[in-house]
Amino acid sequence: MLEGYTWENTCIVTDYDRTITTGEPWATTAFSVFSNCSSIPKIITQERKELFSFYRPIEVDETMEKEIWDKHMSDWHHKAIKVFTDHLTQEMMTDVTEHAIQETQLRQNFPNFLKKANQRNIPSVIFSAGISNIIEWVLEHHSVPFSGIYGNKLVFNDSGKCIWLDSEGVFIWKKNWKSIPSETQKITSWKSHEILLWDSLWDVLMSDKDKVSTRIGFLLSEYQEPSIRNQYNTDFDHVVESDDSDNGILEEVVHHLTQNSKNS
């Protein structure tokens, strides 16, 4: 693994929820933080819980026909948007920020991995269908460096009402490298090799086809069917079966990059 990769030619593209963060079914994500925060009205909490209860089992069903799965994920995303635009205000965000910082658990060794990459001038782009405001606040609180975030940024009008996004948004069923704005793509354009990290088979399009790619997948406890495990082993170069750890793979990546750089 990682033959030809060095500190000089490598970049990182990673998911956030259940990849940088832990992946237990109850784990706080950059969306779920809005469901259990004291400043959030009960109507937001209730509507989001109802959406999660219905759509989360579909989201983790990686045996479903892609066209049907896409339709469900599209419906979930747009219904979630409507919950925010109907009820969320900027005044609520201070408490949401504190709650996200307190409740979000980062995957073991991931912060240190990104810090070492940053020290070696390896750019890291976070590509997420979550709320980028939340992602940025949590990582900055934990002093985790990143080069760019492409996600869904909440925007508020002059009266403090949520008007949703500053762009078309990132949807879980359309997370592909071609959709990333050119200014974000430029962050990694000068690198020839990429390390990709994510927790879902649907994220395969995050890859930049012009680069040499190594794919590391986090197989969560929710994905226990043998067919899914087999697909992970087919689609990823390395599979980590853990909800909260990297099982040593990130330190192994650092070791390979260091050794290859010495020998290049």
Q: Hey, what amino acid is at 57?
A: P
> Which pLDDT score, from 0 to 100, does residue 209 have?
86
> Which pLDDT score, from 0 to 100, does residue 68 have?
93
Q: pLDDT tens digit string along 136-149?
A: 999 999 999 999 99
Q: Which residue has the higher pLDDT, 147 or 31?
A: 147
Place of tokens 């109507």: 43
| Domain extent for 169 | 10-263
Q: What is the CATH number of the domain that holds 82?
A: 3.40.50.1000
> Which pLDDT score, from 0 to 100, does residue 110 have?
97
Structural domains counted in the chain? 1
Ordered strands of the 10-14 beta sheet: 148-152, 124-131, 10-14, 193-198, 212-218, 238-240
**Structural domain contains residue 2:** no
Whether 248 shows a pLDDT value over 70: the answer reads yes
Q: What is the pTM of this model?
A: 0.89
**Structural domain contains residue 157:** yes
CA distances to 5, 121, 244, 264 from 65, in Å: 36, 41, 29, 45
Nearest to 172 by CA among 24, 22, 29, 10: 29
Nearest to 81 by CA among 182, 163, 173: 163
Q: Provide the pLDDT confidence category of residue 172 given band limits of 50, 70 and 90.
A: low
How far apart CA 203 and CA 199 sit, in angstroms, is 8
**Structural domain contains residue 3:** no
Q: pLDDT tens digit string along 223-238?
A: 777 888 898 999 999 9
Instruction: State which H helix or E strand residue 126 sits in.
Output: strand 124-131
**Structural domain contains residue 224:** yes
> Which pLDDT score, from 0 to 100, does residue 81 have?
83
**Structural domain contains residue 29:** yes
**Structural domain contains residue 1:** no
How many residues are given for the chain?
Answer: 264
What is the average pLDDT value for the chain, to the nearest integer? 89
**Structural domain contains residue 4:** no
> Which pLDDT score, from 0 to 100, does residue 9 have?
96
> Which pLDDT score, from 0 to 100, does residue 109 have?
95
Q: What's the mean pLDDT in 163-179?
A: 69
Q: Provide the pLDDT confidence category of residue 18 given band limits of 50, 70 and 90.
A: very high
> Which pLDDT score, from 0 to 100, does residue 34 have?
85
Q: pLDDT tens digit string along 105-145?
A: 999 999 999 999 999 999 999 999 889 999 999 999 999 99
> Which pLDDT score, from 0 to 100, does residue 252 have?
96
Q: pLDDT tens digit string along 183-212?
A: 888 999 999 999 999 998 877 777 888 999
Q: Provide the pLDDT confidence category of residue 168 given band limits of 50, 70 and 90.
A: low
**Structural domain contains residue 250:** yes
> Which pLDDT score, from 0 to 100, does residue 264 have?
61
How far apart CA 105 and CA 89 sit, in angstroms, is 26
Whether 77 shows a pLDDT value over 90: the answer reads no
Q: pLDDT tens digit string along 46-71?
A: 998 899 899 989 988 878 888 898 88
Whether 35 shows a pLDDT value over 80: the answer reads no
